[in-house]
Amino acid sequence: MKQLIPLYLLGFFQVLSTPAQALEVFDMDAMRDPATLEIKVLQDWRTVKGPNIATRQKLITINVGEIWPGQDYRLPVRMVVPVNGKARGFHLTGGNSPRNLERETRPRGVSLELLKGGVGLVMTVVQEPGSYGKVDLGGEAEARFSKSLNPRYKIQYWAWPATLMRAITAAYAETEHFGKGNIAVTGGSKNGASPSMAIIHDERMTAVHATVSPIWDSPLRLCDRKAWDQHLDVGGQQRGFSGGHFGPNFNQRALNAGHTWKELQGFARNISDQVFISRNLKALRARDVEMLFHPGTHDMVAYDMAWGGAHHPSIPVYLGANSGHGKKGHPKIERDQQNKPAFLLRHFFPDEVAEPLLTPPAMETKIIKDVLKVTVRFPPNSGEKSGRIWWMNNRAPDGSPRYLKELIPDQNTKEMTRDADQGVWTVEIQLDSKASRIDLFSNHRKVITCRGNTYPTFISSPYTRLELR
């Protein structure tokens, strides 16, 4: 598959030294070419009976491409369609393992509702190679990337997003079973980051719902030394910071391999247009792409909530209080939240789900003596039915161990009041005399109905940080 490796021919080090030069991580003509998939059929199309619905299913493996010359990246793809007729678009996921995909799936929950409505399912594997027995592949990829800063070698930048795109190509090659339609991609962590990057490049994708994964290009992600200095000790080594450009931090490994901060900054600058939702909002919205993100308030990957809230307040997010990788959530977190199924049903069946999900509201703050007055305003007739405020005092620097460890206190939440005359939600917070700054956000509820089922959904105001002194 030589047509999939243009970066080797171009000489990637030129990109690092030429800031104005465009960097194209993917050859999209190659991504869409079914002739190069080298498909191997493990289970051909068959009818699968289930307790709720019968489906047609097929299991294959595909060659995503070569990570480096001679090293194929090959993974399974399971396709599920209604038993009668073609699927109209599909829900794509990568949060699976090769072993699980060997088993025929019996759809439940929102997957069942999608199939009943004629929408297919496509499942592949976006996981660390070591999780399915290929430890050496993952280690070699990391070593090659640290030495070269070539994104093609880093599985996170190339192989995972490419896997999703090539799975779309494989599904659409099944012309008797898949018709063109919407393609929504969902997942968490690496399966949130990968579709968030892939949807920038692949116009076949129409929606992304991503949790605990990056969204925006904050200074820390761009290797700004002023932002990084608070995470370095006197010897220049990193102290406990786990976040990185688009996932776990790799800066120290690259520095140990001989790269400089200037080279890291050049890499981040040149690749970020290819990576971050925040840098592609205009193009994505022109395509009518639907988006919803659950970054978490205490996540090691989505560690820059205050910067994102200040610079990209229009990106729709739901902030589960004290949520993130390995976090259990605040005692009063919205346990009935069903954003993902409502998001998918609305995206695929807009005629059946007439009510839209909430869009991000605006937050206004005013300090009068020792009281913070907060006002949250939605567009008219949004239909929100509740409001709750959350806050933290003196939060530690983004991505630091304390930022992740110190949670929103149990008592730092309060119901908001609806002012019907003004059409706003209001609340007052007594300021702590010892606080030099306060972080806050609000969550708001709306119930979506589809086929007799109700789905409580929530949206957050932009995460806001106020300096108090």
Average pLDDT, the chain: 93
pLDDT of residue 86: 95
Domain limits, the chain: 2-348, 362-453
C-alpha 166/C-alpha 170 separation (Å) is 6
Q: Is the pLDDT of residue 193 over 80?
A: yes
Residue with tokens 């490419």: 162
| Nearest-angstrom CA–CA distance, 423 and 425 | 7
SS3 456: strand
53-101 per-position pLDDT tens digit: 999 999 999 999 999 999 999 999 999 999 998 999 999 999 999 999 9
Query: For residue range 257-314, what is the model confidence (pLDDT) as tens digits?
Result: 999 999 999 999 999 999 999 999 999 999 999 999 999 999 999 999 999 999 999 9
Contacts of 209 by beta carbon, 8 Å cutoff, 6+ apart: 184, 185, 186, 291, 292, 293, 294, 339, 340, 343, 344
H or E element in which residue 285 lies: helix 281-286
Tens digits of per-residue pLDDT, 170-183? 999 999 999 999 99
* 325-383 residue pLDDT tens: 999 999 999 999 999 999 999 999 999 998 999 999 999 999 999 999 999 999 999 99
For residue 308, the model assigns a pLDDT of: 97
- Long-range contacts, 402-405 (Cβ 8 Å, 24+): 403/298, 403/303, 404/242, 404/298, 404/299, 404/300, 404/303, 404/324
Rg, C-alpha atoms of the chain: 23
Q: What is the pLDDT of residues 438-462, one digit of tens each?
A: 999 999 999 999 999 999 999 999 9
| pLDDT recorded at residue 229 | 87
- The β-bridge relationship of strands 71-82 and 417-419 is unpaired
- Total-model pTM: 0.94
Quick one: pLDDT at residue 22?
Answer: 55
Domain 362-453 carries which CATH code? Answer: 2.60.40
- Give residues with Cβ within 8 angstroms of 16, minimum separation 6: 149, 263, 266, 267, 270
Parallel, antiparallel, or unpaired for β 362-368 and 207-211? unpaired
H-run or E-run covering 98:
helix 98-101
Cite the DSSP H helix spans in 299-413.
305-311, 339-348, 401-405
Same fold, 2-348 and 362-453: no
Is the pLDDT reported for residue 5 higher than 60? no
- pLDDT 10s digits, 203-238: 999 999 999 999 999 999 999 988 888 888 777 777
Beta strand 437-450 with 417-419 is unpaired
Residue corresponding to tokens 């059409």: 423
Where residue 242 falls among pLDDT bands split at 50, 70, 90? confident
Within 10 Å of residue 166's Cβ, how many Cβ atoms?
28
Q: What is the mean pLDDT of residues 138-150?
A: 96
Q: What are phi and psi of 444, to 5 degrees?
A: -140, 140
DSSP 137-175: HHHHHHHHHHHH--TTTSTTTTHHHHHHHHHHHHHHT-T
pLDDT tens digits, 17-61:
334 345 789 999 999 999 999 999 999 999 999 888 999 999 999
Alpha-carbon gap, residue 199 to 319, rounded angstroms: 22
In the predicted model, is pLDDT for residue 198 greater than 80? yes
371-377 and 424-430 strand pairing: antiparallel
> What is d(CA 311, CA 398) in angstroms, rounded to the nearest whole number?
15
Question: What is the distance, to the nearest Å, from the Cα of residue 260 to the centroid of all Cα atoms in its chain?
Answer: 29
Rounded CA gap, 126 and 194, in Å?
A: 8
CA of 228: how far to CAs of 243, 275, 311, 406, 442, in Å? Answer: 11, 20, 19, 20, 29
DSSP three-state, residue 398: coil
pLDDT at 8 over 70: no
Does residue 4 have a pLDDT over 60? no
Task: Give the integer Cα–Cα distance in Å for 195 and 184.
Answer: 9
Which tokens sit at 154? 């880093």
Separation CA 33–CA 412 (nearest Å): 53
Q: pLDDT value at position 243?
A: 83
Q: How confident is the model at residue 247 (pLDDT cuts 50, 70, 90)?
A: confident
CATH number given to 2-348: 3.40.50.1820
Q: Are residues 439 and 392 in contact, defined by beta-carbon separation less than 8 angstroms?
A: yes
For 205, half-sphere exposure in the C-beta direction (CA atoms, 13 angstrom radius) is: 30
Both ends of the chain: CA-CA distance in Å?
A: 59
Residue 201 belongs to what H/E stretch? helix 190-201
Beta strand pairing call for 388-393 and 207-211:
unpaired
State pLDDT tens for residues 383-405. 999 999 999 999 998 988 999 99
Asked if residues 332 and 321 have their Cβ atoms less than 8 Å apart, the reply is yes
Tell me the CA distances in angstroms from 113 to 109, 110, 383, one per residue in order.
7, 5, 24
